[in-house]
Structure 1
Amino acid sequence: MATRPPLKVTTKELSRRTFDDFSEFFHRVHGCACTLYFFGRHLTPLSGSAQERARLLGTAPDRAKGHFPHRDLMRQRELAAVKELVDQGKAHGMLAYANGEPVGWCNFGRADELPVVRDDSTPARLLARDPTSDWRITCLTTRMDHRRRGVATAALAAAVGAIKKRGGGWVEATPASFPHDDPMVRKLRRTFGWGSAEVINYLRDNWPSREIAGVGRVEACLTTSKTIGHSGIMSMYAKLGFEVAGLAGDGTPKDPRYPGHWLIMRRKV
């Protein structure tokens, strides 16, 4: 993927003053407003079929007009939930701006506050891997029309700076190893299906990997301009002094249909 010229990026922390920018940003990127990381789960959608939802909401979706009432309702609920955390001082993040518009986001927070709601059903992947980690960086999101222009890197650096101002400590993240785009994989999936032998055999014989000190050989993560991993990539963190501490997986065999490894990276600030 070609790299576009870098932008002049400024940053501001999430707060009551910048919440409208946060709202505008997630409206543009169609994201979940990081509710998965703030609460340890996505908010529960309305139950029932599309017809039943339409009756409850009083209107049906219309793709031609870009009218999706259930999606809009979920966005309102997500933003309201995050706004409550912001008011309580329990939601942290860094917004990145270009030409005065919010175009990027980096979610961070104390390890004991991400997620703020947790119980025995909370997946381990949503908790700090290392018990000595004081902070976590969980999500990096960039507006699609501004990707590959240094937005996420600027937001990440600003988040590390904000953590340092708050007293610092060990910061943990779980980025992808390194990205790789392969159009042949998409073609094979369309032709034969995601779980087909053709796809699995192609990935086994052609997928790139690298040796990483202290971890071993890791696979690339399948990435396109539209499907960039929200946890960032190893090189972004390495430039800021993070070091690889291990694999983020639980050691069970990987699904051969989904190549890639995620890493645990840490830095003390």
Structure 2
Amino acid sequence: MIRRTLATVVAAVGIAALLPLTASAADPVVPPRIKAMQSGKANAQVAGSCALSVPNRIAIGRDVLVLKAKVSGPCAIAGSSSLWNLNHPSRGDVQSILFDSSDPDGNGTYAFLDEDPLGNQTWQGRGSFNADGSQNTQNNVPITVKLAAGAWISSSRTADVVTLKGTSLLYSVTTNSYFKRSAGGVFQFREQGSTTWQTLKSVYTNSKGEVTMAYRYSKTRDYRFSLYSTSISWDLGSAVTTR
């Protein structure tokens, strides 16, 4: 089980130029209270049910993405100690979330590095104990980790001809920045005063990540350029332009 603390992540990133970050950057550690209780020091009584609440869509768009989980049930009561591990289907447990008021790293904070594995993974309960030694059941939370995308739009109007330009980008874990790339997307419009987006035209950006379209329409509309989800990136809508 890999227990990655925020301090460990920051330290690892800080010395990245000297030491490549590997699994050894976060030593396999079981929190002492969890380890002791898992060894049989807790009684078998089940006191309640604990639920972990985390985003199920993770978009990696920076070198370190720090998040904070929430928990409900007995796990939220002072004196309890609860652990969830993020399990990857081929890499096993890759990081942890701990709730334990007696542990400086037990506030539910966790982090993703941009070199962490992508794909479907599951937060799995690994032990939850109360101050009196009783146990709690824990939920499992499936998540999907993908790269963050970027979508831009620009527009112009000449008389009744509206020209729209969309740009697609993807986060690079090599350069820690966004680059333009080919991608499928759609130009959408929204009538003034409406909250409903409608499809104007499905498109595909070129090798420079750009696509342009023009059409005739005399009235003012809102426009945006949206990207579709792929196996490695999430869907995303651009800012809104009005013409």
TM class by smaller structure: under 0.3
More strand by share: 2
Report the TM-score, using the length of structure 2 for normalisation: 0.26
Larger of the two Rg values belongs to structure: 2
Report the TM-score, using the length of structure 1 for normalisation: 0.24
More helix by share: 1
